[in-house]
Structure formats: C-alpha cells, structure tokens
C-alpha cells in the first residue's frame, strides 16, 4: 500500500475485498476499528484525492491512470508513475470552459393595491385588489363572486381572524385572477367584504410570484382597511 506503512493487514484486506465485491477498480473505503475488529462504514466510487495526498504524500491519480492503460493493453513506465505520484495537480484544465450562469429572472412588482381582472364561469370584472402577504389564500367578496359566477363551492377552509381566535369556516371556489399579463387560477375563500374598500384580497398563493411594493397604490393612499 503506497505511502502508508502502518495500515493493519486486516483493514487493508477488507478495503480491497469491499472494492472488488462492488466491482470498482478504485474506491474510497471508510473503515472504523471496534472492540471486535474492523467495520465498514461506506464505499465511495468518487473518492477525492486531496485528503489522501495530504495524509500520505502520494497522489493516487497516476496509479489509477496506469491501471486503466494496462487494462486496455498498454504499457506504462513505473518510474514515471512514481514520480508523478509525488505531486497532486488539482488545477482545472484550460479546455474546461466555465459556462456563465444565466441571471435569475427578477420577479415583477405588484403594488399594495392593484388593478386586476377576476373571472368566473359566467363573467369577468375589473376591480382594485389589495395585496396581503399575511394571507395564505386569496379572498373574494360574495357579491363579486356572484357577479362573475365563481363556483361551485369546492370545499370549506378555516380562516383565523383577530376577533375569532379559533377561526371560522369559509367556502372555497375557483377563480382566475389576471395581474398584468399573467393569469392565476386559485382556490379563493368567500367572505362578506362589503364593509371593506377592496372586494378582492390577493394572498400568497398569487403574491409568491411577485415582489410587493407597499408604497405603490392605484387608488387613494388614504384608503385603509
């Protein structure tokens, strides 16, 4: 065993047997010694050379190349292999091109309030919607839902509110919300928003596709809910 003089024979034999058992010409074999002998931890077919070189002063790369060449029927100068093994070259070849990574596409910006189109099975309405990053689900006023033909009711969802800590159940219907040139089909909860300024509240099911600029509004900045 090159570069190591004190490897126990039992450990060396186990490493060679394991590599042969899994059909590998070379491998990183992790062993640990216990009270009852040596135990196998893992076999790595893509073992790195740096740690081994630092521990032994021998690079395994030339020996691996020698084995491959001789397996294919070629001849190798053993002295040259031993000389090359004294140096570890971990530089990247110039022929390996580094492909530039494409810049991540920046998400479009949506305002605190936004003009949107909301559609159901029988109509489409343009409304001013409010963005609420604290809401997981988009919410639609019952009157608006009736006007566009939202429905039928798919399920019920429990929504928490400040006044009802345990939450209250609301029906859920599919609607399509158009923001700019994008269309989002979401399962929105139905609620009476007649006492609020905006009949549609955009939740994170839509806002996750955008950056929210809370300073940007399409309506009067004095409007608050």
The model's pLDDT over 27-54, given as tens digits with 9 standing for 90+, comes to: 888 889 888 899 988 888 877 778 778 8
Q: Is the dihedral of CA 149, 141, 208, 159 positive or negative?
A: negative
Is there a single domain that holds both residue 209 and residue 115? yes
Count CA within 13 A, CB hemisphere, residue 171: 15
Which of 49, 84, 119 is the last residue before a domain boundary?
84
Are 80 and 117 within one domain?
Answer: no
Kindly provide the b/e burial profile for residues 76-109, where b requires at least 16 CB atoms within 10 angstroms of the residue's own CB: eeeeebeebbeebeeeeeeeeeeeeeeeeeeeee
Considering the domain boundaries, does residue 4 fall inside one?
no
The reply to whether 135 and 168 lie within a common domain is yes
> 74 with 153, same domain?
no
The pLDDT assigned to 125 comes to 95
* Owning domain of residue 191: 109-213
Residue 54 lies in a domain: yes
| Phi (first) and psi of residue 64, to 5 degrees | -65, -45
The reply to whether 76 and 121 lie within a common domain is no
Which of the listed residues 68, 84, 100 is the one where a domain comes to its end? 84
Q: What is the CATH number of the domain that holds 31?
A: 3.30.470.20
**Does residue 176 or residue 3 have the better pLDDT?**
176
Percent of the chain with pLDDT over 70: 88
Q: Across residues 139-154, what is the average pLDDT? A: 90
Instruction: Tell whether pTM > 0.75.
Output: no
Domain count, the chain: 2
Among candidate residues 207, 169, 206, the one with its CA nearest the CA of residue 189: 169
């Amino acid at each position: 065993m090159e570069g190591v003089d004190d490897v126990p024979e039992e450990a060396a034999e186990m490493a060679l047997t394991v590599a042969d058992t899994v059909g590998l010409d070379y491998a990183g074999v992790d062993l640990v010694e216990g009270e009852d002998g040596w135990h196998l931890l893992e076999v790595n077919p893509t073992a790195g050379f740096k740690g081994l070189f630092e521990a032994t002063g021998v690079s395994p790369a030339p020996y691996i190349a020698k084995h491959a060449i001789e397996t294919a029927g070629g001849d190798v100068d053993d002295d040259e292999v031993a000389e090359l093994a004294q140096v570890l070259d971990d530089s990247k070849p110039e022929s390996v091109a580094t492909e530039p990574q494409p810049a991540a596409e920046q998400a479009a910006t949506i305002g605190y309030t936004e003009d949107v189109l909301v559609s159901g099975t029988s109509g489409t309405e343009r409304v001013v919607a409010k963005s609420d990053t604290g809401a997981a689900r988009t919410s639609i006023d019952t009157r608006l839902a009736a006007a566009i033909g939202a429905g039928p009711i798919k399920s019920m969802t429990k929504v928490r509110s400040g006044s009802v800590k345990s939450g209250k159940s609301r029906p859920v219907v599919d609607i399509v919300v158009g923001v700019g040139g994008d269309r989002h089909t979401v399962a929105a909860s139905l609620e009476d928003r007649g006492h609020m300024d905006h009949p549609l509240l955009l939740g994170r099911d839509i806002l996750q596709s955008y950056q929210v600029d809370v300073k940007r509004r399409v309506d009067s900045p004095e409007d608050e809910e």
